[in-house]
Amino acid sequence: MKQSWQNTLESFSRSQYSAALNGIRRGIEKESLRVNGDSSLASTAHPVSLGSPLTHQWITTDYAEALMEFITPVDTNAKKSLGTLADIHRHVYHHIGEELLWPLSMPCTIAAEEDITLARYGNSDVGKTKTIYRQGLKNRYGSMMQSIAGVHYNFSMPDHFWPVWQQIKDDKQPLQDFISESYLALTRNFLRFGWLVPYLFGASPVVDSSFLTHTRSTLPLENIGRSSHYLPHATSLRMSKLGYNTQVQDNLAISYNSLPAFISGLRQATSQPNPVFEKIGVMRHGEYQQLNTNTLQIEGELYAPIRPKRVTRPGERLSDALQTRGVQYVEVRSLDVNPYAETGIDLEQIYFLDIFLTYCLLKESPAFSWQQQCTAKKNMQQVATCGRDVSVILQDGERPRSLKKWGEELFSDLSEVARLLDKPAQSMKYQKALHHQHQKLKDPAKTPSARILKDMAEQKLEINELALNLAKKHRHTLLKTNYTQVRSCEFAREALVSRSKQRELEKSKPANINDYLRLTLDVFPPAPKPEKVLRGQYCHIPPRLCPNKASHESTCCA
């Protein structure tokens, strides 16, 4: 396997292939709660002056009316993407008065779950459906969990890369099939090595005590100050069982070993009723409580640190889009909001993610057994809760390894990728970014999670007081600087266009929402039966859920 990796590096070092890695495409989605000056959740509606959150291309809302989401267009220029994200923040600050954008992933002070208003999208069928879906999330997982924010990083290689990579791999299948297979290989490697992301960028080692009032946690959290709780070596409570996780999805039969297997698992989860959610029911007193009682109401409810994606057409399901047109990009979902960056993510993070995801794509990626998938998830949890403990041990396949030793091995490979990415432009930006992140591995005190605890101690602040100070600083910085990528008049035009689009949607609706939901959500293709598994291979379905139990090796998860 090492020789194969060296062959890959040597191939892309050649002049005829090196340019193939130039032109990585990226898009960023960043979430932020709107808060008041006392760190309480804003109770105001999404500002009308910003346009319709249902149809606006850059500014929308996620779970709650106060949980904003900012979306950048896909671009090959990282600085331009970050500039666009800054412009969106800048523009929003011009329209939310004295409110602030919360700079942390974990929520602000929320006195009661009833204070969290579900996002509203108007009276169109699609708008009502989005709100009912959020009502389902509230009933299934609670509103506090859904108020956690993050940064999603959408990554894809340029079109000219794929024929080169296929030639290097000596692959003869249709190009799109090869592309889909390659993105799934990337996904498997990200699950294997992705614990490195919360170690380097986790920024939620502390939560406000109000969060614990409304959530159940078995984590041994400790007091730090009057109203803050933490784990001494945590990197990302957001990625822990306390955060954006649900036990119900732990046993989902979703495999990343092939596109048919992934689609099969996704459809199975969205078509089979779940006894836990059947107790909630769909209707109560004439009001929708959720879209359905399946394990996933819709495919977007799948919680995962990374997902293979394809841009869908209006009314199209992701699984259908993937089946007909293949994988187009991957969405990384394990990034905390960076509280020290005005935009929640900085340029060095972007460059590192480019390196890391390219590495996951180029590195050999064997098929994942279910047990290996379980182990990868445990590694992520381990790093999220105690990653800054220098003695922490992770599981690499069958062998235990220290985080630091495994991390050093990864950085050795990543340095080779950084050189390849720098070569076309004869720059050092990737190598410099990687060097800076490497210092965090050598010294856990340099991680953002450690910096937060240090700032709280030195400034004698609660976590929410520190967050408020940072939010005010970011607001001041953004408002005193000018737009760089999107002009104010373009935002004004988009607000008008988005409101017009919403009005058009509200004009054309069927007799009632029941008919719309029946037509758009209740017709799922039957989940394919588990394929016969040859001896020595692993079935992707957990044994306790699989009717074909004889296919499973004894080493699969029980």
**How far is the C-alpha of 143 from the C-alpha of 214, rounded, in Å?**
9
CA-wise closest residue to 155 among 60, 83, 72, 243? 72
In 3D, which of 239, 245, 242, 234 has the Cα closest to residue 385? 234
What is the per-residue pLDDT for 548?
A: 41
Length of the chain as a residue count: 558
Give me the residue label for tokens 């002009």: 487
Tens digit of each residue's pLDDT (9 = 90 or more) over 224-278: 999 999 999 999 999 999 998 787 887 787 999 999 999 999 999 999 999 999 9
Rounded Cα gap, residues 152 and 150, in angstroms: 7
Compute the CA torsion angle 312, 61, 254, 372 (nearest 10 deg).
130
**Is residue 63 helix, strand or coil?**
coil
Per-residue confidence (pLDDT) for residue 531, from 0 to 100: 37
DSSP reduced 3-state for 348 = helix
Q: What is the DSSP string of 503-551?
A: HHHHHS--S-HHHHHHHHHS--PPPPPPPP--TTS--SS-TTT-S-GGG
Question: Rg (Cα) of the chain, in Å, rounded?
Answer: 23
For residue 247, count CB atoms less than 10 angstroms from its CB and return exposed for 0-12, middle for 13-18, buried for 19 or more: exposed
Beta strand 25-35 with 222-223 is: unpaired
CA separation for the pair 509, 124 (Å, rounded)? 7
Cα separation, 31 vs 20, whole angstroms = 33
Residue 267 near residue 527 (C-beta atoms within 8 A): yes
Under a CB-based contact definition with an 8 Å cutoff, are residues 520 and 535 in contact? no
Instruction: Using alpha carbons, select from 180, 165, 372 the residue that is nearest to residue 261.
Output: 180
| pLDDT score at 509 | 65
Q: How many CA atoms lie within 13 A of 72 on its CB side?
A: 31
CA angle 71, 72, 78 (to 5 degrees): 140
Round to whole Å and give the CA distance between 410 and 283: 50
Say what the pTM is: 0.92
* Spatial separation of the C-alpha atoms in residues 241 and 217, rounded to whole Å: 8
- Residue ranges of E strands in 393-438: 393-396, 399-402
The amino acid sitting at 85 is L
- 475-516 per-position pLDDT tens digit: 999 999 999 999 999 999 999 999 999 999 999 866 578 877
Per-residue tens of pLDDT for the chain, all 558 residues = 345 899 999 999 998 899 999 999 999 999 999 999 999 999 999 999 999 999 999 999 999 999 999 999 999 999 999 999 999 999 999 999 999 999 999 999 999 999 999 999 999 999 999 999 999 999 999 999 999 999 999 999 999 999 999 999 999 999 999 999 999 999 999 999 999 999 999 999 999 999 998 877 789 999 999 999 999 999 999 999 999 878 788 778 799 999 999 999 999 999 999 999 999 999 999 999 999 999 999 999 999 999 999 999 988 999 999 999 999 999 999 999 999 999 999 999 999 999 999 999 999 999 999 999 999 999 999 999 999 998 899 999 889 999 999 999 999 999 999 999 999 989 999 999 999 999 999 999 999 999 999 999 999 999 999 999 999 999 999 999 999 999 999 999 999 999 999 999 999 866 578 877 877 764 333 334 433 333 333 333 333 334 343 333 333 332
DSSP 358: H
Give the number of other CB atoms < 10 A from CB of residue 111: 11
Q: What is the pLDDT of residue 3?
A: 53
Q: 3-class SS at 523? A: coil
Nearest residue to 501 (alpha-carbon basis) of 124, 95, 64, 130: 124
Helix/strand/coil for 452? helix
Give yes or no for a contact between 448 and 19, defined as CB atoms under 8 angstroms apart: no
As a whole number of angstroms, the longest Cα–Cα distance in the chain is: 68
| Listed residue (76, 18, 81) closest to 425, CA to CA | 18
pLDDT score for 360:
98
Cα separation of 251 and 557, whole Å?
10
Residue 554: its pLDDT value, please?
31
